[in-house]
Chains A and B, each alone.
Chain A
């Protein structure tokens, strides 16, 4: 079966799972959403929070961004998880104690002001629009690749599916649907990562794998090889930063503070019935988030090494099929400046003109194919990408 056929199978199976879980949990509880949530154990609530938290940005884009930025990509890893610590220590328990269900309500009551409440609503709207825009591009990229269409049309198809999904999401028992989503998402993320780690470094755990020696017999460390490859092609060394220390510091702090205020995540802490449960479900959520967030930099390093080894100085006629497929979506562009039929992929430090532009967002989706994994893995990743991107729109949280 082709990648495309496997994609339909995997996406179909995962949707069948969500619908099944939604029906099952609806039958179990006739009480409304918040009350149903009250009976949810902290571990389960933590898993659902993690699914809510990890959007298309985490699943589809983050490893790609790190892949291209190298060390500077750490700002997203630390910013998003570190902000979670602020949320868990400074916000979640108090919002729970205060007994308000939405952030604007909390702000309005706390400062006893309608103006403050309106300001909070406007902020929440801005956050949600920005957030949805990112999600939509993520879904668009998934569909553009697997339906062989331009990314713009991919966004339109994706919107249709997400709308359908949002209607489903309106069903009661959403917590368990989100648990199912988390399982699909993390399975789809870990399987290719483990495969690639085994192939490249003979290490089962990707988090350890990208700090291990290569299995190609050279005996060198993977990250050293990647630094060397990058420098040869005129890119900066992968493990050394390009941005200034202060830049990195302030970007990280800004991401942390912003993360602590994400409205659709805060709202989850009302679905447990005790302050102590709100605290521990915040802890469990970070465990489940960290599983993906510690895998992402490994995926990034593996994908970057594979990419440089595959496309650099390859003959255009001989490029693998994934290359041509992504070219059709407009997310890979090859311009043969010197008309020698060979792909010169070079960085800013190189004297050779760069001929290849690769969209960073495709790296996670393309990774299984770049690493020549079986086609069902690529289908699985697409299903995971959809699980991350299609969800209850954050708008209905307030």
Chain B
């Protein structure tokens, strides 16, 4: 692969990481901790919303984040032809 193409691959990779990790930080540090007290005024059934994010919602978001990352990276690998499917 040419050096220029690799730069593009790496740049897109970093972009994905920044976006996904911002969501990661936003949900855990943001919704579940820093703004949790404010969110507690809303309710989700018997849960106060901030409490729900801290004990349930954040974990569910984490699972989704990893699968989104897997999909994005697999697509990126194919596009840049660095798919290692045939490596062995």
Is chain B found bound to chain A in the same assembly?
Answer: yes
- In this complex, which of A66, A86, A287, A297 has the most chain B Cβ atoms within 10 angstroms of its Cβ? A297
A351 and B40 alpha carbons, distance in the complex (Å):
29
A63 and B70 alpha carbons, distance in the complex (Å):
30
A290 touches B46 (CB 8 A): no
Minimum CB–CB distance from A134 to chain B (whole Å) comes to: 21
Chain A: residues with CB nearer than 8 A to chain B?
38, 66, 71, 74, 77-78, 81-82, 84-86, 88-90, 93, 207-208, 210-213, 221-224, 239-241, 245, 248-249, 252-253, 256, 273-276, 279-280, 282-283, 286-287, 290, 293-294, 297
Q: Which of B17, B55, B70 contacts A90 (CB 8 A)?
A: B17
Known: A245-B34, A252-B28. A283 touches B63 (CB 8 A): yes
Known: A85-B62, A211-B47, A212-B45. A279 touches B54 (CB 8 A): no
Interface size (B, Cβ < 8 Å)?
40
B2 within 8 A of A: no
Minimum CB–CB distance from B23 to chain A (whole Å) comes to: 10
Minimum CB–CB distance from A69 to chain B (whole Å) comes to: 11
B62 touches A81 (CB 8 A): yes
Known: A207-B56, A283-B63. A252 touches B33 (CB 8 A): yes
When distances are taken between beta carbons in the complex, the residues of chain A under 8 Å from B34 are 245, 249
The 5 listed contacts between A and B (C-beta, < 8 Å) are A74-B54, A245-B33, A275-B77, A276-B84, A290-B60
B3 within 8 A of A: no
When distances are taken between beta carbons in the complex, the residues of chain A under 8 Å from B87 are 273-274
Minimum CB–CB distance from A275 to chain B (whole Å) comes to: 6
B74 touches A279 (CB 8 A): yes
Interface SS of chain B:
helix
Top 6 nearest A-B pairs (CB, nearest first) are: A221-B46, A74-B54, A211-B46, A297-B55, A283-B66, A211-B47
| CB-CB contacts below 8 Å: B24-76 with A | 24, 28-29, 32-34, 36-37, 40, 44-48, 51-52, 54-56, 58-60, 62-63, 65-67, 69-70, 73-74
Known: A82-B28, A286-B63. A239 touches B56 (CB 8 A): no
A283 and B65 alpha carbons, distance in the complex (Å):
9
A294 touches B59 (CB 8 A): yes
Minimum CB–CB distance from B36 to chain A (whole Å) comes to: 8
